[in-house]
Amino acid sequence: MMRLIGFLLSVLLMFTAQPVMAQSQLPNFTQQQCLQQLDDLAQQALKATNSGDFATAETYWTQIIEQQFPDNPFLL
């Protein structure tokens, strides 16, 4: 009897439970604003790279990657 109840509860939970994922809240920018922001970051990254400030350039490139590919599991 206990096995039957356990089995029925397992089946019930399997078909009624739904995974919950947090949804990220992204700011509402127009496509033009996003492209302009990415272009500005790229220009700053190139300027920092050309001047030899690689640590600063890396932070700019990281911001670009995080904005362009926020859901990429390889970047988490």
Using CB atoms within 10 Å of the CB of residue 63, give its burial: 0 to 12 exposed, 13 to 18 middle, 19+ buried. middle
Per-residue model confidence (pLDDT) at position 21 = 60
Q: Would you list the domain boundaries of the chain?
A: 29-71
pLDDT of residue 16: 64
57 neighbors 49 (Cβ within 8 angstroms): yes
Would you state the pLDDT for residue 5? Answer: 83
pLDDT below 70 — which residues of the chain? 11-29, 70, 72-76
**pLDDT for residue 51:** 95
Structure-token pair, residue 39: 């272009």
Tokens of 51: 């001047």
Interatomic CA distance for residues 38 and 54, integer angstroms = 18
